[in-house]
Structures are given as structure tokens and as C-alpha cells.
């Protein structure tokens, strides 16, 4: 199994959505997510959109990077410019790529639906290619 980390600032919307979609749709890949400055909670609209997609798991949570640093990732994907600029160094050499998405936080539910669709269309094929 290839291990992928999705890194964002707050780990409450984009990175959680990406983690869940990768885990639902990509075979032989396990995704994790974390935040550079995690909020500690998952946005309720992110949960709602993932439930609609039948991709929500209760174990998904907003967490800081130190909670998962012991995992040897095969790929790290930053999904916001702040995480891209502040991406930490990992103990094991790992490829880090940036695939940015607009933050839906504070916007209407439709923005979360758009973000989910954009992540499916843009991010999943990249992760599939990088981990195959």
C-alpha cells in the first residue's frame, strides 16, 4: 500500500475531503491528512459533502503533523499555498507536490460540492499516476 499525506493549513476542509476521496476511490493507496496549524475540528459542510459522496468515516479528524510523522509517506500533496510554503522536512526522503484548491471555508454548501468535484477531477488522477 502506498501512503499519501494531504497537507493543508487548518485540516478542516480541503485536506479532509481529499483524504476521504483518495481512500474511497483509489486502490492500493492509503491517504492521511494533517494541518500546518490544524483547527482541531472538521468543517460541518465538509462532513456533509463527504456523507453525500458516501466517503465520510468517523475516524477522520483535524490533526497536526506531529500526530502522523512516524508514517513513511510515499507522496506528500499540499493543497493550499500556505502549506506549500511551510511544508516541513520529513524524516524519510519523499516527493512533495502542490495541487492547490480554493478554500470553501466560510462559504455556502455549494462551494464544498464544487471543491469535492474539483478534487475528484484534478487531484485523484495525479495521485493515481504518482502512486502506480
- Contacts of 3 by beta carbon, 8 Å cutoff, 6+ apart: 29, 30, 31, 32, 71, 72, 73, 74, 75
> What pLDDT does residue 14 have?
97
Q: Is the pTM of this model over 0.85?
A: yes
Q: What is the pLDDT of residue 70?
A: 87
Q: What is the rounded distance in angstroms from the CA atom of residue 17 to the CA atom of residue 72? A: 21
CA distances from 78 to 48, 83, 87 (A): 23, 6, 8
Strands 75-78 and 29-35: unpaired
- CA-nearest of 4, 26, 25 to 15 is 4
**Residue 77 lies in domain:** 2-131
SS3 53: coil
Q: How many domains does the chain have?
A: 1
Block mean pLDDT (10 aa), the chain, length 132: 95 97 98 94 98 98 91 94 76 88 96 98 98 93
- Distance, in Å, from the CA atom of 61 to the CA atom of 49, rounded to the nearest integer, reads 15
CATH number of the domain at 99, please.
3.40.50.2300
Q: Which residues are catalytic?
A: 8, 80, 87
Amino acid at each position: 500500500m502506498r501512503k499519501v499525506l494531504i497537507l493543508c493549513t487548518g485540516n478542516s476542509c480541503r485536506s479532509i475531503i481529499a483524504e476521504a476521496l483518495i481512500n474511497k476511490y483509489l486502490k492500493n493507496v492509503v491517504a492521511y491528512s494533517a494541518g500546518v496549524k490544524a483547527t482541531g475540528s472538521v468543517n460541518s459542510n465538509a462532513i456533509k459533502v463527504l456523507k453525500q459522496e458516501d466517503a465520510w468515516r468517523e475516524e477522520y479528524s483535524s490533526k497536526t503533523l506531529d500526530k502522523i510523522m512516524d508514517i513513511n509517506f510515499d507522496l506528500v500533496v499540499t493543497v493550499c499555498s500556505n502549506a506549500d510554503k511551510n511544508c516541513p522536512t520529513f524524516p524519510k526522503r519523499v516527493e512533495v507536490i502542490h495541487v492547490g484548491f480554493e478554500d470553501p471555508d466560510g462559504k455556502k454548501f455549494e462551494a464544498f460540492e464544487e471543491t469535492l468535484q474539483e478534487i475528484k477531477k484534478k487531484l485523484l488522477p495525479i495521485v493515481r499516476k504518482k502512486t502506480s
